Every structure is written in C-alpha cells, then in structure tokens.
Amino acid sequence: MAYEIRFSDEAVIQLQKICIYLNDNWSEKITEEFLEVLYHKLEVISSFPYSYPGSVSNIKIRKCVVTDQTSLFYEFKNNKIIILSIFDNRQSPDNIKYKENFFHPPEEYLAFPYSASANVPK
C-alpha cells in the first residue's frame, strides 16, 4: 500500500532552494538527476514508511539520506507521510527546521524540468 505524501512549507522552500542552486551552479541535468533520486526515495518511503531509521533527536521523525549532501526528514502520521525538512548534510544539525504547518502534494514540485517559478509559497 502506498501512503499519501505531503510537503511542509519549510520542505517546499528548501527543495526550491536546492534546485535553484543546482541549476545555477551545476546544470539542469544535475537538477533532474537529483529530483529523480529524490522521487525514487519518496516512492520507497510511500510504500515502506518505516524503512529509514528514526532521527537521533526524535524517534518519531525519520531520516532518509537522499544524496551524500542531502537528507530529508519525515514523519508517518495518521496514515500520511509528512516531509518536514530537506536538509543540506554539510550544515550543523542544530539548523534542522521542522515546521509542521501547511502541506503540499509532491507532484507540484517534482516536475521535469524543474522550474524556479514553480508555485511555491514565499
């Protein structure tokens, strides 16, 4: 059974910043490759929400390493997966933000090619 995935406002903004950075500093192809890897990880999480370990600071929040540079933090709650944060692993873990407010369906943000003008809250 695949569970519904939603993105928090914070995760959407973080994803947009990562994609803009990749587009500006690397290439659209690298951005697409990143989004493909992310999409695959989301498919795994959707089917097997307990497949990744709980985070050290809060066992209810799970951590999935997307790439060497990026992890996502999510919570499985009320039969939904909430993506709380997409985090640059090179930062201090103290900078991780979990804001659980408005949630977005992932298909709005995983389209190819990635557009920096995607409908993302400010």
Please report the pLDDT score of residue 90 as a whole number.
Answer: 77
How many helices and strands in the chain, by DSSP H and E? 2, 5
Predicted TM-score (pTM) of the model is 0.76
Are 32 and 114 in contact by the 8 Å Cβ rule? The answer is yes
pLDDT interval class at 56 (50, 70, 90): confident
Angle, vertex CA 23, rays to CA 21 and CA 26, nearest 5: 90
Q: Which domains does the chain have, with CATH numbers?
A: 4-99 (3.30.2310.20)
pLDDT digits (tens, 9 = 90+) for 6-23: 998 889 999 999 999 999
pLDDT digits (tens, 9 = 90+) for 63-98: 999 999 999 999 999 999 999 999 888 766 665 555
| Alpha carbon distance 50, 34 (integer Å) | 23
